[in-house]
Amino acid sequence: MSARGSALQRRRARAGRLFVLPNLAALLVFMAFPLGYSLYLSFTRSDLFRPATFVGITNYRQLFADPLFGIALRNTVVFTVGSVLPTVLISLGIAALLNRKLKGIAIFRTIIFVPLAVSAVVMAVVWQFVFNTDNGLLNIMLGWLHLGPVPWLVDPHWAMVSLCLVSVWKGVPFATVVLLAAMGGIDENLYEAARIDGAGELRRFFAITVPLIRAALSFVVIISTINAFQAFDQVYVLTGGNGGPESATYVLGIMLFQHAFGFGEFGYACALAWVMFAILLVLTGLQLRRGRQEDT
């Protein structure tokens, strides 16, 4: 019986490995190999046409001396803060509103999730119309309030604000889904007990809801930060491949794309990609560590 059992177990394990194999192969070919190759390229001068020349850490040294790297990093930090903070706050508020047992709440939940299904490029094209200085929806609405037209995408000072607005609009649904799911998992008895103790709605929210969804909040912050840090598509469509006007929206994603596909400097672009990865790794590590410290 035990011999038959172990034979069955071995067969099952073999079948399991076989089932995993295609995915594992895909992971190696499409993830591990490109990652390793990009790390190798970052130490070379490569344009993908001529043989790559090993240049050691030259690309990294040039990158840190490049004044545009400083501009791109600053813009990326501004964009990340300007989009992640409002995204988290707004989605927290919306999730709290949607986490109620009201008639027709499903309709509101569906509506709020719609932007999640829209392609980033399509969304950016639509927002281009919304941001039109003369006939854009946003300026028409500001006109009703007797506020002058804002040159959203044309003026360097407003272009970054516009990008953050679009990013928040795009990021809120995802964050809301995660936070709403976390809120759904909180034991109703806790609220009931708090209500009996006389705690108001706001008090219950900050004393029960927020602490109990901290893990989900942390996840949302990390994912939103990673997304914002890697922003490319919406910037490319809204303000162009040069991160204009001037260098107002020149973020790291645009810099990477420009060097790789515009200038053919793949080695340099790979070095930038690994620097971005290192920054994100440190930020994520810090966030996780903070989360763990709070838990203990």
Residues of this chain that interact with another protein (CB under 8 A) are: 47-50, 132-135, 151, 154, 156, 242, 244-247, 258, 261-264
CB of 159 vs another protein, minimal distance in Å: 11
- Cβ closest to another protein, residue 46 vs residue 209: 46
- Cβ closest to another protein, residue 47 vs residue 187: 47
CB of 35 vs another protein, minimal distance in Å: 19
Cis peptide bond prior to 115, omega within 30° of 0: no
Rounded Cα gap, residues 106 and 104, in angstroms: 5
- Cβ closest to another protein, residue 115 vs residue 156: 156
- Cβ closest to another protein, residue 55 vs residue 88: 55
CB of 54 vs another protein, minimal distance in Å: 18
For residue 68, what are the contacts with CB-CB under 8 A and spacing of at least 6? 247, 250, 255
- Cβ closest to another protein, residue 37 vs residue 263: 263
Rounded Cα gap, residues 205 and 183, in angstroms: 10
Rounded Cα gap, residues 218 and 113, in angstroms: 20
CB of 200 vs another protein, minimal distance in Å: 48
- Cβ closest to another protein, residue 174 vs residue 250: 250
Burial pattern 32-58, b for ≥16 Cβ within 10 A else e, equals: eeeeeebeebbbbbbeeeeeeeebeeb
Query: Pseudo-torsion of CA 55, 61, 63, 64, nearest 10°?
Result: 170
Contact between 232 and 257 (Cβ < 8 Å): yes
Contact between 291 and 214 (Cβ < 8 Å): yes
- Cβ closest to another protein, residue 224 vs residue 258: 258
CB of 263 vs another protein, minimal distance in Å: 5
CB of 250 vs another protein, minimal distance in Å: 8
CB of 164 vs another protein, minimal distance in Å: 20
- Cβ closest to another protein, residue 135 vs residue 189: 135
**CA 254, 259, 260, 266 torsion: positive or negative?**
negative
CA distances from 172 to 125, 175, 176, 280 (A): 19, 5, 6, 21
As to burial, measured by CB atoms within 10 angstroms (0-12 exposed, 13-18 middle, 19+ buried), residue 132 is: middle
CB of 222 vs another protein, minimal distance in Å: 32
Within 10 A of 217 (CB to CB), how many other CB atoms are there? Answer: 20
Per DSSP, the three-state class of 176 is: helix
Within 10 A of 165 (CB to CB), how many other CB atoms are there? Answer: 18
